[in-house]
Amino acid sequence: MGHSAVARTPDASSREKNVGMDAAAAADAAIAEENGVLEGEEGALIDYKTLTWWQGGIVLIAETVSLGILSLPSVLATVGLVPGIILILIMGFLSTYSGLVLAEFRQEYPFVQNFGDAVEVIGESIGMGRVFQEVFGWAQVTFQVFVMGSHLLTFTICMNTLTSSSTCTIVWAIVGLAIFAALNLPRTLKYTSYMSMASCMSITLAVLITIGDVAVERPIGSGSFAIARELGFSGAFLAVTNIAISFSSHSCFFSVISEFKKPEDWPKALALLQICDTVLYLLAAIVIYVFVGEDVPSPALSAAGSATMRKVIWGIAIPTIVIAGVIYGHVAAKYIFSRMFRNTKHMIRRTKRSGIAWVAIIIGIWAISLVIAESIPVFNSLLGLICALFASWFSYGLPGIFWLWMHYGNWFKDWKQTCRFLANVLLFITGLLICVLGLWASIEAIASGGSTKPWTCASNAAE
């Protein structure tokens, strides 16, 4: 590896020793000698490595196949059937490859727990390690809080649909905040992995029922569809960003890998994720768009013909809406918590201070996500903005940079390496284009958002 020496610097080595249970035990021994470690629950050691590969795969599916799938039928309505299918397949391939690159990077630098750590490794070679850690670490948290906001927004749409808009939308956002925060109280993903099974089943069942309903009833719209469409730049690129966001769970990959019992099993979990999400995306997008037509709503679960059927489908989808948001909340809170307590007993033991801090962090980030959800109440535009600002780099641009940096000096040693070089250059260019052009398209779409107003009690459910 071109830069493997960086991982052996004194700073990197000391950080690596602070990761894992051996390091935890050593740190605790030192702290206990000076201050004494509390007995019972206060001194309980936290085991973070609790996930098998299939549990990790289920967590990833629950995190990924949630909001993204709900916007894809409307994406096909925007760009046309054939271009939409091609874009879904291309973005699926790129996101799979970038996931493998992230795993390769973490294998080379096992102390990496998040994107801040990863970019810091690169920054150290030019004396910018700490700056890179701060910029990209907090960018990761910002992205995840924005995604949490989109889950809160979807929760309000869901509750307005179920209750026939009988309550103020802001009230439902506050109720959602309480539910999401309560489920984020556990400090590991062990129990979330079990909840994720319910999440996977719920979104699959909700999508299949929607598909069956639209196939039988042909609700909403004329049912006509276009093989391809001519459209303006803004609409076209917003569609691209919405496809990209449906594959963009990469900001959580480092944190999920760090909780694997065997990190080397990551490719199996990634394969489980990508097979399931690509199949579901294509099935839902094609069938719902073909039968509903150009007026297909977003989120797509509102495409069912009758109000009663929409209520049934949204009710089934509640676990996915909630649990996927909880996973993002966990990863964001874990980063903030680790920055506060790294190298202390509070990081690895259940102390009163760590418990209070964890609860405060959870409440704080969900409160910020509520502000985002109510300030940008247009579902597709919010997803597009999130993707352009953050997912473009975490899912595409940065993995390409990581590979190019690791293999610097060996880009063209044989034809296979040359192909990998070209693939990672493509990843970087994809991330750059989605960021610059997608941001412009998303801001234009939000600015012309029509009748949807921020911070209103009015219903945001499909009529």
pLDDT digits (tens, 9 = 90+) for 364-378: 999 999 998 888 766
pLDDT in tens, 53-78: 999 999 888 888 876 787 788 888 88
Which of the two residues, 295 and 162, has the higher pLDDT score?
162
Which of the two residues, 405 and 461, has the higher pLDDT score?
405
Does 424 have pLDDT greater than 60? yes
pLDDT in tens, 211-257: 888 888 765 555 566 676 666 766 777 777 778 888 888 988 998 99
Q: What mean pLDDT is reported for the chain?
A: 81
Give the least confident one: 91-105, 168-182, 241-255.
241-255
List the one residue out of 422, 393, 374 whose CA is nearest residue 132: 393
Which whole number is the average pLDDT over 177-182? 94
- For the chain, list the domains and their CATH numbers: 47-447 (1.20.1740.10)
Which whole number is the average pLDDT over 321-327? 89
Q: Are 271 and 62 in contact (CB under 8 A)?
A: no
List the one residue out of 55, 50, 48, 49 whose CA is nearest residue 269: 55
Q: Give the pLDDT of residue 15.
A: 43
Does 24 have pLDDT greater than 60? no
pLDDT in tens, 123-147: 998 888 899 999 999 988 988 898 8
Angle formed at CA 151 by CA 148 and CA 156, multiple of 5 degrees:
130
pLDDT in tens, 370-423: 998 888 766 666 667 777 888 889 999 999 999 999 999 899 999 999 999 999
Q: Give the pLDDT of residue 243.
A: 87
Q: Is 459 helix (H, G, I), strand (E, B) or coil?
A: coil
End-to-end CA separation in angstroms for the chain = 57
Q: Is 409 helix (H, G, I), strand (E, B) or coil?
A: coil
pTM as predicted: 0.77
